[in-house]
Structure formats: C-alpha cells, structure tokens
C-alpha cells in the first residue's frame, strides 16, 4: 500500500499542476500560488479523499477535483498561518515561506485565490448537482468560521494563555480536525449510494484522526528537527502556543495519539464485515498509521 500512497501522491500532483496553470491570472499571483501548492507536502488530505472514495467506490474523476480542492485550502491555510501577524514562520515544506519568497501582500492574495479556486474546482467538476452542493456545504463549514478559520482564531487568542483540556481539544479539532473531516466526508460524498451509517462511521474516524494529527504535530514541534520537519522546530514554544505537550506532557500526549488512532480504526470497524476490514479500507487504515508514526 506504500505503493498506492505514492501513486496517489503523484496523481494529485498532476491534477494540481493542471489546475494551477492559469494564464489569465497576473503572473506574480499565479507563481505564488504554484510555489506553495506544488511539489511539497505529504498530501494527507488528498489521500484521505481517495481513501474514503475507495470505501464507497467513488469515481476517480470526481475524487481528483475534491482532492485538489482540499490541497488548495490546505496550501492557503499554511500560507496565512505562516504570516508575520500569525505564526511568523520563515520556513515551510523545506522552502522559504510564501511571504519571504514573495511579499506579504502577495502571500495574502495567493491564499485568497487558492481558497476561491477550491470552490471553483468543485463547481466545475463532473459531480452531480446534488453531490456538488453537499460537498461545497461540508467543505465550507469545515474550512470556515466554525471550522479551520475559527480554530485559527482560537489559536491566536490562546497564545500566552493557559487553556484547559476541553478548550485545547476544541481548538485543535477546529484548526486541524475540521479540514481532515472535510477530506474524508467529501471523499465519501463522491460515492453514489453511501448509507448514513457509512458517512457517520467515516465522520467519526476523521474526527479521531484529525485530533491525533494535531497532537502529533505538537509533539514533533518538540521532538523532530527543522530539517526533517521542513518547518522551524520549536515554533510553538517560541510563540507561547497552547499545545498538548505543554498542557499534559510529552508522554501523555503520545498515549493520547495512540488511543485516538485505536478509536479511529474502531470507527471503521463499525461498517466492516463483522469487524473484519476488507481491502477497500486499506488506504484509510494505512493513513491512520502514517499519522501517528510520521516524523514530519
């Protein structure tokens, strides 16, 4: 399945390459958009779209557009997250951040345009009208004020503050979990006749995995290296961010990530044959392992 992860990473790269090739945009803007979207990133959100799509047998042609939309929103969120007024970081995916390579105004606009492009991609996909509407709805809810953007607001407000565990979970689930949820559920919505039980189980898998992902991100900010991460190690501590290791310690954070992984897998078992996960779940189970075992 390592093969299939690599194959899907290559597939999404090709889709993004085509969709980010637009000669009608000002060249500097198009260049800044391509700089932060192409040739980097683990592509977890795109992979989750394909992974959920595999469970419901969705057509690749639709999944491509949805996966590309998710990666556009991911790239935009990172460009804005790194801005001087946000986390003020200068390295991302092993390269200078967008505002360092270009300038702040260009970085803001590249992010704006990537967010807009995400919804253009859904609109111009070959999805049926009803599916496109359901997917736009889920994606906008998860990316917006009560999802990722809302979580980023909570993150900024929490800087130099002590949160309790419930507040920290809320912040992490919003700033990171929400987009991971959108990836999984929107992938599933590309299928033709998924049941409510399937969507519910995938929704639960995604929520567990999304929280685990940010817990691991917090751990890596302490334990990994700048070189491995491709972004500055210690950024959270330097900025006084509210993180899991800061609140419950490294060991408890690692245990929590493992437990969340287990719960994510158990959510999938709810919709499998007698708890036996068939091969259509392979990508989702492998991605869950990747999330907790990753080093960057």
13 binding Mg ion? (CB under 5 A): no
Under the rule (CB under 6 A), what is the footprint of ligand IPE? 41-42, 44, 74, 77-78, 81, 87, 93, 148, 152, 175-176, 214, 217, 231
Q: Which residue is nearest to ligand IPE (CB)?
A: 41
Alpha-carbon distance of 248 to 254, in angstroms, equals 10
Of 217, 244, 264, 268, which lies in the binding site for Mg ion, with binding defined by CB under 5 A?
A: 217
HSE-CB of 91 using CA atoms within 13 angstroms: 12
Q: Which residue is nearest to Mg ion (CB)?
A: 87
HSE-CB of 215 using CA atoms within 13 angstroms: 29
Closest approach, Cβ 113 to ligand IPE, in A, equals 17
Closest approach, Cβ 89 to ligand IPE, in A, equals 6
Q: What's the angle, vertex CA 286, arms to CA 284 and CA 291, rounded to 5?
A: 95
- Look up residue 175 and give its two tokens: 């700033």
13 or 217, CB closer to Mg ion? 217
**Contact status, residue 118 vs residue 15, Cβ threshold 8 Å:** no
Alpha-carbon distance of 253 to 258, in angstroms, equals 9
Among residues 85, 228, 60, 225, the alpha carbon closest in space to that of 159 is found at 85
74 or 173, CB closer to ligand IPE? 74
Closest approach, Cβ 78 to ligand IPE, in A, equals 5
Closest approach, Cβ 3 to ligand IPE, in A, equals 19
Residues 195-222 as b or e (16 or more Cβ within 10 Å = b): eeebbebbebbbbbbbbbbbbbbbbbbe
Task: Give which of ligand IPE, Mg ion, none residue 44 binds (C-beta under 5 to 8 Å, depending on kind).
Answer: ligand IPE
| Per-residue binder mask for Mg ion (CB under 5 A), 60-89, x = binder | ---------------------x-----x--
Contact residues toward Mg ion (CB under 5 A) are: 81, 87, 217
């Amino acid at each position: 399945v390592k093969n299939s992860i690599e194959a899907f990473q290559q597939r999404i790269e090709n889709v993004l390459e085509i969709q980010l090739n637009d000669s009608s945009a000002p060249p500097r803007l198009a260049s800044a958009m391509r700089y932060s979207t192409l040739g980097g990133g683990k592509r977890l959100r795109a992979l989750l779209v394909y992974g959920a799509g595999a469970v419901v047998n969705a057509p690749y042609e639709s999944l491509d557009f949805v996966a590309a939309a998710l990666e556009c929103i991911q790239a935009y969120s990172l460009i804005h997250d790194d801005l001087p007024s946000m986390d003020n970081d200068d390295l991302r995916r092993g390269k200078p951040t967008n505002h360092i390579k270009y300038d702040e105004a260009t970085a803001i606009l590249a992010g704006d345009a990537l967010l807009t492009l995400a919804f253009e991609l859904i609109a111009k996909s070959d999805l049926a009208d009803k599916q496109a509407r359901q997917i736009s709805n889920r994606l906008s809810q998860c990316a917006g004020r009560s999802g990722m953007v809302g979580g980023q607001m909570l993150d900024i407000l929490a800087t130099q503050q002590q949160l309790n565990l419930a507040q920290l979970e809320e912040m992490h689930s919003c700033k990171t979990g929400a987009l991971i949820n959108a990836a999984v559920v929107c992938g599933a919505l590309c299928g033709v006749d998924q049941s409510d039980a399937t969507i519910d189980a995938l929704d639960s898998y995604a929520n567990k995995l999304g929280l685990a992902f940010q817990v691991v991100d917090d751990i890596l900010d302490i334990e990994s290296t700048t070189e491995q991460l491709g972004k500055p190690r210690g950024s959270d501590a330097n900025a006084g961010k509210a993180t899991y290791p800061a609140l419950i310690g490294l060991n408890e954070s690692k245990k929590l990530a493992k437990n969340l992984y287990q719960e994510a897998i158990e959510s999938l078992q709810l919709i499998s044959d007698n708890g036996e996960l068939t091969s259509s779940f392979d990508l989702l189970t492998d991605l869950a392992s990747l999330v907790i075992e990753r080093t960057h």
